[in-house]
Amino acid sequence: GARVTLKIEESKRIKTFQIVGVDEADVSKGKISFVSPLANELIDKKIGDKVVLKRPKKDIVYEIMDIAYA
C-alpha cells in the first residue's frame, strides 16, 4: 500500500502512515487500514493538499507532504 507523510497543521509534527489491509493495521506501528477515516480522507488527494480528520473534541488538519507507493 501507499506510505503517506503528513504534517499536523497545529503542532507542525510530521507523521508517516502506511495504508494497509484491515488485518495488518496497527496504529502504534504507523499502519492504518484502508477503510479508516484518515485513509478515506486521503483518497484522490495529492502532495500539498490538506485533509481534515473529524474528531469528537477537535478536528485535526493534516497537510500531505509525501506519497510513496510500495
What pLDDT does residue 67 have?
A: 97
Question: Is the alpha carbon torsion for 69, 21, 28, 46 positive or negative?
Answer: positive
2-69 belongs to CATH 3.10.50.30: yes
- What is the reported pTM? 0.89
**For the chain, domain boundaries:** 2-69
The burial class, CB within 10 Å (0-12 / 13-18 / 19+), for 42 is: buried
Per-residue pLDDT of the chain (70 residues; tens, 9 = 90+): 899 999 999 999 999 999 999 999 999 999 999 999 999 999 999 999 999 999 999 999 999 999 999 7
Q: Which residues are CB-neighbours of 17 under 8 A, at least 6 positions away?
A: 3, 4, 6, 30, 31, 32, 38
What pLDDT does residue 28 have?
A: 95
